[in-house]
Amino acid sequence: MSDTMVLAEGVHKRFGRLEVLKGINISVRRGEVMCLLGPSGSGKSTFLRCINHLEEINSGRLSVDGELVGYKLRGDKLYELHERDVCAKRAEIGMVFQHFNLFPHMTALDNVTLAPVRVKGENRQQARERGRELLARVGLGDKIDVYPVALSGGQQQRVAIARALAMEPKLMLFDEPTSALDPELVGDVLDAMRQLARDGMTMIVVTHEMGFAREVADQVVFMDDGVVVEAGQPSQVLQNPQHERTKTFLSKVL
């Protein structure tokens, strides 16, 4: 079994004439936490969405756990998979967005158990038992019957994390999961993510939380204008950056 979970090779992505990703080369090992840093518009979120084929790439190769994402290779050409097959692969990748996107008419537990029952065909009772365990895991064991409107933003985001985990993903993607939260609510969400890291979950996190990146990340990647400017261990990139663009960015956010 390969030790590489995510491999991007020369990934390009355009929206019309706008080239957002300009040849991204990134490798994430199994059980590793990678934090993607950079200014708005640098391509971080777009790259994250390409990993689970929410966005199609224009050229290059992108694979998860040794398999191409959204495509199959015939000879030297890539062919896009049928949407059913894409969805099956996407179900193996958990994603947590800036905004929680919970169903307001469902309780926390129902939000967590919906996809395993509907998508994976799990037994409803077993899914609910696992859902209770996952909500307890993110510190919400006493909120299983509560509707989103009665939860704080941080609690809703932790429900979203539990919902993603309910699909038993091999990889978790986080797109600025704390950016929509009041500052006092950020800590609980980051604690839940720290626990995932301790449990060995492979994670790619787009974030501006430098303390989290310094403490939890195995590698930090700084992106700007669609390219990887600098990458390495947190101590290297955050404390001793080599590129002037990295130094300028960090001087404004640290």
Residue 90's pLDDT band (cuts 50, 70, 90):
confident
Task: Give the E-state strand segments of 148-214 in sequence order.
Answer: 171-175, 203-206
Tokens of 240: 């001793």
Residues 27, 36: Cα–Cα separation, whole Å: 12
Residues 126, 120: Cα–Cα separation, whole Å: 12
Give the model's pLDDT for residue 32: 97
Residue 88's pLDDT band (cuts 50, 70, 90):
confident
Contacts of 147 (CB under 8 A, 6+ apart): 104, 105, 106, 107, 108
Q: Classify residue 240 by its DSSP letter.
A: S
The per-residue pLDDT for range 138-155, each reduced to its tens digit, is 999 999 999 999 999 999
Give the model's pLDDT for residue 85: 82
Give the model's pLDDT for residue 22: 98
Cβ proximity of 232 and 220 under 8 Å: yes
Question: In the chain, what percentage of residues exceed pLDDT 70?
Answer: 100
Residues 145, 36: Cα–Cα separation, whole Å: 35
Chain-centroid distance, C-alpha 27:
15
> Which letter, b or e, does each residue of 90-102 get, where b requires 16 or more Cβ atoms within 10 Å of its Cβ?
bbebbbbbbebeb
The per-residue pLDDT for range 163-174, each reduced to its tens digit, is 999 999 999 999
pLDDT of 176 > 70? The answer is yes
Q: Name the average pLDDT for the chain.
A: 94
pLDDT of 1 > 60? The answer is no
**The model's pTM:** 0.94
pLDDT of 26 > 90? The answer is yes
Give the model's pLDDT for residue 77: 78
pLDDT of 58 > 80? The answer is yes
Mean pLDDT calculated for residue range 126-145: 96
What's the chain's Rg over C-alpha atoms?
18
Cα-Cα-Cα-Cα dihedral of 192, 194, 200, 205, to 10°?
90
pLDDT of 128 > 60? The answer is yes
